[in-house]
Amino acid sequence: MIDRLGQEFGFYQTALGLRQQRQEVLASNIANADTPRYKARDFDFSSALREALGGPKGLPSVALTLTSSRHIPAAAASAGQVDWLYRQPLQPSLDGNTVDMNVERVQFADNTVRYQAGLSLISQRMKIMMAALQQ
């Protein structure tokens, strides 16, 4: 029964986690609006959500076991579930920075509203579940 509850909320949890991650990358773009040669990053939310729900993708992160002090430490990081893309600049700038403040602010506001929508959906879902439990 409890694992059914987990499945019930798994979708919303994944979606909110990705919204959170997108919020972070947009905040990073806004913070680096004046950094020379910084390239604005973003990812496609719908394809990232589809991949995240499709189960584990790729290999987990691994590191070598060091048994001697002369071994070279090496690690292979997992690429994760998000496919990071570069934003295409509408207007080039002299310092090689591709952050367009207007685009980033609009995307940030849009992502904020969608995150709040996700929160409302979770709350609604919880109310429905509570009503069913109290029958």
Partner 1 sequence: MSTMSIFQIAGSALAAQSQRMNVTASNLANADSVSDPRGHPYRARQVVFQMMPVSGAGQAAPIGGVRTAGVLESAAPPRLQYDPFHPLANAAGYVAMPNVDVVAQTVDLISASRSYQANVEVINTAKSLMVRTLSIGQ
Interacting residues with partner 1 (CB under 8 A) = 16, 20-21, 23-25, 27-28, 30-36, 38, 41, 61, 77-80, 82, 84, 101, 105, 108, 112, 115-116, 119, 122-123, 126
- Using DSSP bridges, classify how beta strands 75-76 and 41-42 pair: parallel, antiparallel or unpaired: unpaired
CB burial of 21-35 (b: ≥16 within 10 Å; e: otherwise) equals bbbebbeebeebeee
CB of 69 to partner 1, least distance (A): 25
Residues paired with residue 86 on neighbouring β-strands, in sequence order:
41
Nearer to partner 1, 69 or 102 (CB): 102
The nearer residue to partner 1, 36 or 71, going by C-beta atoms, is 36
> Please, which residue, 14 or 23, has the CB nearer to partner 1?
23
Q: How far is the CB of 101 from partner 1 (least distance, A)?
A: 7
Minimum Å distance from CB 37 to partner 1?
Answer: 9
- Least distance CB 68 / partner 1 (angstroms): 25
The string of DSSP codes covering 19-86 is: HHHHHHHHHHHHHTTT-TT---EE--HHHHHHHHHT---SPPPEEPPP-STTSPP-EE----S---EE
